[in-house]
Amino acid sequence: MSTEKYDIVIIGSGMGGLVCGDILSREGYSVCILEKNKQIGGCLQTYVRDRVIFDSGVHYLGGLDKGQNLYQLFQYLGIMDKLKLKKMNVDAFDKIIMDNDDKEYVFAQGYENFIQKLLVNFPHEEKALRLYCDKIKEVCDKFPLYNLRTGGGFAAKVEVMEIDTKQFIESITTNKRLQEVLVGNNMLYAGQPGKTPFYVHAMILNSYIESSWKCINGGSQIGHLMSKNIHSRGGLIKRDCAVKKIVVEDGKVSHVIVDNNRRIDGKLFISNIHPAKTLEMTETALIKNAFRNRIKSLENSISNFTLNIIFKEDTFKYFQHNYYYFKEGHVWEQGNYTEANWPLGYVVFAGAGKSTEYAEAMTILAYMRYDEVQQWGHTFNTVSETEERGGEYDAFKKQKAEKLLDRV
C-alpha cells in the first residue's frame, strides 16, 4: 500500500475546504485536499451547455464592497482584485412578485435605500421597516466571526439564537403583505416557519443589502484562484480521489484510505463534507452511537429542480436583479407542494456574461423534494462517469421543465 504524509489533510474541495487549505498553506503547513469529483469547488462549480456557462450554486454574492466582510476575506486571500464581478442594480437586487398582485416589491442595496424603496408600497410601515433593519444589524453584530472580529464567546450569541424569523417579523408588523415580502427570497436559506432562526435570515440578508454582485462567467473563478494560491505554496489538490475510510489509531485520526487502496497520512484532518458521511467513514468507539444516530437522523434541507434556458443572440434583455415568485399565502410553504400545485414558488437568475445589454441565458429554480427522484437514487451520472437513467427519467425532467416554464 503506497503512503503519503502531510501536515493537513482536507476531505472535500468546497469553499470551506479551499479556504482552510489556502489559509493553512499560507502559514507554512503542507496541505493536501482530496476531492472525489473531477471539478473542484463544490457549490462554486460551473458547467457549460452549448458554450454557455451556468452556475451550480453561486448565483449572486453579497458583502463585496470595500470594507465589507466578504471583501475583506477575499482581500486577505489575495483574490479580490482578480475576480470578474458585476454589481447588481443598486435600487433593486431582488424583486419579489406573487400571483394576484401586479406589484413588484424591490430589495435595494444600502439600508436607507432598502427602507425607502419598500416604503413606496408600504408608506405606513416605516417604523416596522426600521425596527427590522436595526434588528438585522444588531443580530449580525453578535457574531464576531461574521464581522471578522476576535473575541466574544457563545454567550453573546445565545440571546439572539432562539429568535424565530416568522415570529419576529409578525411581531413588528400586522401587515400580512409586508410579512410575506420580507421573507420573499427565503429560498436562499430554505426557510421554514418555526424552524428558521432569525440570525440565519439576518446574516444572509445583511450581506446582500450591504452590496450585491454577480460573478461574470460564473463563480468557479473563486475556487480556481484559491487553488492557484494553494499550489503556489506547494499544496496539493487531488481530483478524482474519493476517501473510502477515515482510520483512527491511538485515539486520533492517523490516515485515510482513498481509491485504489492508497493510504494518505496526516497530522491533522479536516472534513469538509456532510457530517453524516464523515461519521459513516469513521470506525471508532470514541464516537458514541447516540451521537452517530443523532447526526444520521437530522433532516436534510430541501433541494431544487433547475431549468437552464439559452437565448438566441441579442433577443432577451439582461436584467440586473433576480425575481422571487411565490403563490400568495404560501411564502413559507413552498416546499409543501403537491404534484398538482407545483411549483408554489421559484427564483429566476440571469447569468452575467460579456454583454451588458442582452442576456445569454437564464436559470430558474423551484423546490423539489428528493422523494420525487428517489427511484433513480442508485444511479451516478457525470461527464466523466456516465450512466443512462432511461426514458422515464427523461420524460420526468421534460414534464417538470414545461410545467415550471409555464408558471414563469
User: Would you give the DSSP letter of residue 348?
Assistant: E
Task: State the burial class of residue 58 (Cβ atoms within 10 Å of its Cβ: 0-12, 13-18, 19+).
Answer: buried
- Locate 87 and state its grid cell: 454589481
* Strands of 101-107's sheet in order across: 101-107, 94-98, 322-326, 345-350, 361-368, 303-310
Q: Provide the Cα torsion 201, 328, 107, 304; round to 10°.
A: 60
Residue 113 CA to residue 165 CA, distance in Å, equals 22
Residue 226 backbone zone (phi > 0: left; psi -120 to 50: alpha; other: beta):
alpha
* Strands of 212-215's sheet in order across: 61-62, 212-215, 85-87
User: Would you give the DSSP letter of residue 29?
Assistant: -
Q: What are phi and psi of 37, to 5 degrees?
A: -95, 170
Residue 190 CA to residue 199 CA, distance in Å, equals 14
* Domains along the chain with CATH numbers: 3-58+218-297 (3.50.50.60), 107-213 (no CATH), 301-407 (no CATH)
What is the structure's pLDDT at 268? 98
- Locate 100 and state its grid cell: 394576484
What is the structure's pLDDT at 382? 83
Predicted TM-score (pTM) of the model is 0.94
Could you tell me if 374 and 385 are in contact, meaning their C-beta atoms sit under 8 angstroms apart? no
Residue 231 CA to residue 238 CA, distance in Å, equals 11
Whats the size of the chain, residue-wise?
408
CB atoms inside a 10 Å sphere around CB 212 = 26
Residue 132 CA to residue 173 CA, distance in Å, equals 10
Do the strands 212-215 and 85-87 form a parallel or antiparallel pair, or are they unpaired? antiparallel
- Locate 165 and state its grid cell: 424569523
Counting other chains too, the contacts that 65-71 makes at CB distance below 8 Å and 24 or more residues apart are 65/210, 65/211, 68/207, 68/210, 68/211, 69/146, 69/147, 69/148, 69/207, 70/207
Tens of each residue's pLDDT in the chain, 408 residues: 567 899 999 999 999 999 999 999 999 999 999 999 999 999 999 999 999 999 999 999 999 999 999 999 999 999 999 999 999 999 999 999 999 999 999 999 999 999 999 999 999 999 999 999 999 999 999 999 999 988 777 777 888 999 999 999 999 999 999 999 999 999 999 999 999 999 999 999 999 999 999 999 999 999 999 999 999 999 999 999 999 999 999 999 999 999 889 999 999 999 999 999 999 999 999 999 999 999 999 999 999 999 999 999 999 999 999 999 999 999 999 999 999 999 999 999 998 777 778 999 999 999 999 999 999 999 988 877 888 999 999 999 999 999 999 999
CB atoms inside a 10 Å sphere around CB 71 = 17
What is the structure's pLDDT at 1? 59
Do the strands 322-326 and 345-350 form a parallel or antiparallel pair, or are they unpaired? antiparallel
Residue 57 CA to residue 304 CA, distance in Å, equals 11
What is the structure's pLDDT at 229? 98
